[in-house]
Amino acid sequence: MRVYADHAATTKMRASALKAYTDAANEFYGNPSSLHSEGQRAKEVLEDCRARIAALLGANANEIVFTSGGSEADNQALLSAAKWGALKGKKRIVSTAIEHHAVLHTLKKLEKEGYEVVLLPVGADGIVKVADAENAIDDNTCLVSVMLANNEIGTIQPVEEISKICLAKKVPFHTDAVQAVGHMPVNVQALGCDYLALSAHKFGGPRGVGALYARRGAPLYPLIEGGAQEKGKRAGTENLPAIVAMTVALEEAIAELPEVTKRVSAMRDRLIEGLEKVPHCALNGDRVHRLAGNVSFCFEGVEGESLLLYLDDMGVSASSGSACTSGSLDPSHVLLAIGRVHDVAHGSLRLTLDGTNTMEEVEYLLSAVPAVVEKVRSFSPVWRDLQEGKRSFIL
């Protein structure tokens, strides 16, 4: 059996999206900027997609900018608000310690350019405290950025409460909703955000395409200069087949959301309950305020990389955290932020499910994962020290 349990890293394209992609590439090959019939037809399809994506998010069509994905959308939101801030003499940015690297690395760059970046801590539950956000915002703050759902531990952040504070203090608010869109209800009016980033390949669309929602009046500057596409906010000939496929994928994801959420969260809960029986392990992130498909654990006395390799041999595709940190030896910044010490953070395992997974696969995971943990522990010097009492258990 092969079980793909890494849907937070990327998803297989939905059949409907793949068909929409090839059909659009075939039929709407005109350049939307061209004046001839093929161009105008492509332009109509493009604007139809924009209206449909906007409707799904509770936005207006002219508030949607198509991008190359979540990273670009995050970059554009952050850099636009920062630029506006500099013009106003406000150079403080408030965000969180558990953001995706698309946000964190952009903030690092802004810090080098003289911005003051404040990263809010999270509790052991992996959730930022609203009061901390409120206290961190001052008159010099030009942007607050808090992700809606975390990509490693799946925790859902109190974005609505924080955006209310931002609105009252007239500070632009961005949310990286890449893990949330298509996986939980997302409405920009309810969230009260000024910017929101989404990415198609996290909900069964193609990779390399996403969108930035920017509320009317929110500062917005292009990252890419060139033609006047996207009303001058994003130059480059539009990736129409990908945009069409993203639209179809999101419509389908949202239509099936109630049924899928029920089924996937039942699989998640079964998996969590089963894995908790492994000795010396702990669930990462709050049990309730988490994405329907996210299961994240730390196993003490385990080296995460070996765990992943042996699991792959057993037919299980999993992750240690984010696809971006795996391959590096630094433990995940998210696990450190929830208080896991380095050794424990190294023994992390993330299993992310979606509607394509089955309960049968979950049962298989429940036999494979504990067996592999035991195997990896059997040749771990750290585990031996723990057994012999030369080190004490943390979990």
Q: Which residues are catalytic?
A: 324
CB of 178 or CB of 275, closer to ligand PLP = 178
Min separation Cβ 70 and ligand PLP, Å? 3
Min separation Cβ 67 and ligand PLP, Å? 8
Upper half-sphere CA count for residue 208 (Cβ side, 13 Å): 7
Cβ(235)–Cβ(263) under 8 Å? no
- C-beta nearest to ligand PLP: residue: 70
Min separation Cβ 72 and ligand PLP, Å? 7
- Supply the DSSP symbol for 139: T
Single-letter amino acid, residue 316: V
Min separation Cβ 150 and ligand PLP, Å? 7
DSSP labels, 312-341: HHTTEE-BSS-TTTTTSSSPPHHHHHTT--
Burial code of 333-359, b = ≥16 C-beta within 10 A, e = fewer?
Answer: bbbbbbebeebbbbbbbbbbbbbebee
Which residues make Cβ contacts (< 8 Å) with residue 179, sequence separation at least 6? 8, 147, 148, 149, 150, 151, 154, 202, 291
Chain contacts with ligand PLP (rule: CB under 6 A): 69-71, 74, 100, 102, 147, 151, 176, 178-179, 199, 201-202, 210
Distance in angstroms (rounded) separating the CA atoms of residues 181 and 253: 9
Cβ(214)–Cβ(20) under 8 Å? no
CB of 45 or CB of 73, closer to ligand PLP = 73
Min separation Cβ 303 and ligand PLP, Å? 24
CB of 176 or CB of 300, closer to ligand PLP = 176
Distance in angstroms (rounded) separating the CA atoms of residues 365 and 363: 5
CB of 240 or CB of 302, closer to ligand PLP = 240
CB of 74 or CB of 303, closer to ligand PLP = 74
